[in-house]
C-alpha cells in the first residue's frame, strides 16, 4: 500500500500543496487534471526523482520520503517512455537485470516470459528507433515489469497513441496488473482513461487537490465547479434553495425559470433554505422531448435548438432557453434512442432528472 500524507512540492514558482492519498496494493489511483496542474510533480516525488518541501510517503508501511529512486522499487514510465535509444528492445528490457547483477540464464527466462505476455517476441532485437507507438509502449512496460517493481507510475504514457491502440494498451495494463499484482499510479487528463483504469481518483487543479475518492463518487459527485469541469460536467445553472424536504431539495433557478427537485444525497455539503448554489448536470443526462410532452412536467424547461453536431453514435445538441436567451445547455443524445428530429430553431422540452443534478457550491 502506498500512503502519501500532506505532500507539498515546489518547482520554481509553482507549488503543489498538501496532497494526501492512499493506494491499496493491486489497485489503480488516477490523478486527473488539466495540463500544468502539478500531476507529474506528484509522480516524480513518489518515484524519488524530486524531494518534497514537506510531507511523507510510505510504501508498505515503510517511510520512503527521502529514499533514493534506485532503492524504492517503483517503476516510472514518463510520457515519452524514455526507452534508451542506444539499446535494442531486449537490452532495454534487461537493463534493470544487468544493473542489479541478475544471472544471465534467469534474465533470459524473464525476458522471454515478458515478451510473450506483452506480445513483443518478434521485435526483441530491433532498435527502438524502428518501433511503432504501440510496440514502444509494450517495450517500455516490459522494461518496467522486468525490474520486479510492483508499483508502476504511468505519466500520460498513452497520450501519443490513437484511440484503438490506446484501448488495446488499457486492456493490457489491466491484464498485467492482475497477473503481476501491480499497483498503478496514473496521470492523465483523459476522462475515458481515468474511468477505465482508475479505482480511485484524485482531481488536481492548479497545484491543489480538489477531491479524492472512489471512481464513481468522484465522477458522479464532484464537490466544486472546478472538479465538475474536470470530470466532464458541461451544464451549470445557478439557483436558490427554496425548501428542504426529507429526501429532496427544491431549488428554484431564475435563469431556467423553473424549480428543480434534487435528491438530497447529491449535495456534498449541508444546505440551508435561501442559500445560493450552482447546479451541474452532464450533457448525456439531459432528456429531450416534444414541447407538448405532458409526462415531462417537473424539472423541465423549454429550449430552442441552436446547433446540432453529429458525433459517432450521438447527437450533440446546443440549446438556448426559450425566454432567457443567456441560458444555454448542451445535450448529448444517442441516435438510436432518439425519435426527435433536431432542426435549428425548433423548440424542445429539456428534462433535468433530479437524480443526476449535482449541487456544486
Partner 1 sequence: MTFKRVTILFAISIVLIYGGLILSLYSFFSTEHLLNMIRSPRILYSIRLSIAAASITVFFSMILAVPAAFALSRYNFAGKRIVDTLLELPLFVSPAALGAMILIFFNTPAGVWVQGNIQQFVFTVYGIVLAQIIAVLGISVRLVKAVFDEIPLRYEAVARTLGASPFRAFSTVTLPNAYKGLFAATVLTWAKAVGEFGATVTVAGTIAMRTETLPVSIYMRLASADIEGAVGSIIVLITISLLVLYFSRLLFSGGGYVRS
List, in sequence order, every residue forming a beta bridge with 151; answer none if it has no partner.
74, 183
State the nearest-atom distance from the C-beta of 101 to partner 1, in Å: 10
Judged by beta carbon, residue 151 or residue 301, the one nearer partner 1 is 151
Instruction: Return the residues of window 43-72 that contact partner 1 according to CB under 8 A.
Output: 44, 47-49, 68-70, 72
CA distances from 139 to 6, 34, 66, 117, 245 (A): 35, 28, 29, 11, 57
| CA–CA dist 110, 104 (Å, integer) | 10
- Binding window for partner 1 (CB under 8 A); candidates: 82-90, 234-242, 269-277, 325-333: 82-90
29 makes contact with partner 1 (CB under 8 A): no
Copy the grid coordinates of residue 64: 520512503
State the nearest-atom distance from the C-beta of 104 to partner 1, in Å: 17
Judged by beta carbon, residue 147 or residue 212, the one nearer partner 1 is 147
| CA–CA dist 161, 256 (Å, integer) | 41
State the nearest-atom distance from the C-beta of 49 to partner 1, in Å: 5
- Binding window for partner 1 (CB under 8 A); candidates: 40-48, 159-167, 194-202, 331-339: 40-48
154 makes contact with partner 1 (CB under 8 A): no
Which of 100, 116, 216, 298: binder of partner 1 (CB under 8 A)?
100
- Binding window for partner 1 (CB under 8 A); candidates: 91-99, 119-127, 177-185, 194-202: 91-99
State the nearest-atom distance from the C-beta of 79 to partner 1, in Å: 8
86 makes contact with partner 1 (CB under 8 A): yes
State the nearest-atom distance from the C-beta of 222 to partner 1, in Å: 33
Answer yes or no: are the C-beta atoms of 249 and 241 closer than 8 Å.
Answer: yes
CA distances from 245 to 142, 217, 240, 297, 354 (A): 56, 23, 15, 20, 14
Which of 25, 34, 51, 99: binder of partner 1 (CB under 8 A)?
99
| CA–CA dist 332, 317 (Å, integer) | 6
88 makes contact with partner 1 (CB under 8 A): no
How many residues interact with partner 1 (rule CB under 8 A)? 27
Judged by beta carbon, residue 158 or residue 279, the one nearer partner 1 is 158
76 makes contact with partner 1 (CB under 8 A): yes
Binding site residues, partner 1, CB under 8 A: 44, 47-49, 68-70, 72, 74-78, 80, 82, 84-86, 95-96, 99-100, 143-144, 147, 149, 153
Amino acid at each position: 500500500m502506498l500512503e502519501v500524507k500532506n505532500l507539498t512540492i515546489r518547482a520554481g514558482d509553482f507549488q503543489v500543496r498538501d496532497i494526501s492519498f492512499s493506494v491499496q496494493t493491486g489497485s489503480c489511483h488516477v490523478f486527473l487534471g488539466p495540463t500544468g496542474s502539478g500531476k507529474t510533480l506528484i509522480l516524480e516525488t513518489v518515484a524519488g526523482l524530486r524531494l518534497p518541501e514537506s510531507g511523507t510517503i510510505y510504501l508498505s508501511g515503510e517511510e520512503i520520503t527521502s529514499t533514493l529512486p534506485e532503492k524504492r522499487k517503483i517503476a516510472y514510465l514518463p510520457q515519452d517512455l524514455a526507452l534508451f535509444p542506444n539499446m535494442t528492445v531486449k537490452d532495454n528490457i534487461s537493463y534493470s537485470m544487468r544493473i542489479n547483477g541478475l544471472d544471465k540464464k534467469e534474465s533470459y527466462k524473464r525476458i522471454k516470459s515478458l515478451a510473450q505476455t506483452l506480445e513483443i517476441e518478434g521485435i526483441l532485437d530491433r532498435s527502438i528507433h524502428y518501433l511503432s507507438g504501440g510496440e514502444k509502449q509494450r517495450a517500455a512496460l516490459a522494461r518496467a515489469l522486468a525490474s520486479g517493481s510492483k508499483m508502476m507510475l504511468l505519466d500520460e504514457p498513452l497520450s501519443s497513441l490513437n484511440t484503438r491502440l490506446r484501448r488495446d494498451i488499457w486492456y493490457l495494463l489491466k491484464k498485467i496488473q492482475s497477473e503481476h499484482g501491480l499497483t498503478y499510479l496514473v496521470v492523465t487528463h483523459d476522462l475515458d482513461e481515468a474511468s477505465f483504469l482508475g479505482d480511485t481518483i484524485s482531481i488536481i487543479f492548479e497545484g491543489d487537490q480538489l477531491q479524492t475518492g472512489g471512481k464513481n463518487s468522484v465522477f458522479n459527485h464532484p464537490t466544486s465547479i472546478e472538479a465538475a469541469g474536470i470530470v466532464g460536467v458541461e451544464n451549470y445553472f445557478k439557483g436558490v434553495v427554496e425548501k428542504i424536504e426529507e429526501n429532496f431539495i427544491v431549488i428554484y433557478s431564475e435563469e431556467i425559470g423553473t424549480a428543480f427537485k434534487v435528491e438530497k444525497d447529491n449535495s456534498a455539503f449541508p444546505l440551508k433554505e435561501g442559500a445560493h448554489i450552482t447546479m451541474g448536470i452532464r450533457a448525456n443526462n439531459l432528456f429531450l422531448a416534444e414541447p407538448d410532452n405532458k409526462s415531462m412536467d417537473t424539472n423541465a424547461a423549454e429550449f430552442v435548438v441552436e446547433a446540432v453536431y453529429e458525433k459517432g453514435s450521438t447527437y450533440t445538441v446546443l440549446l438556448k432557453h426559450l425566454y432567457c436567451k443567456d441560458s444555454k445547455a448542451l445535450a448529448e443524445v444517442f441516435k438510436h434512442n432518439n425519435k426527435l428530429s433536431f432542426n435549428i430553431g425548433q423548440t424542445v422540452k429539456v428534462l433535468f432528472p433530479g437524480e443526476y443534478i449535482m449541487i456544486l457550491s
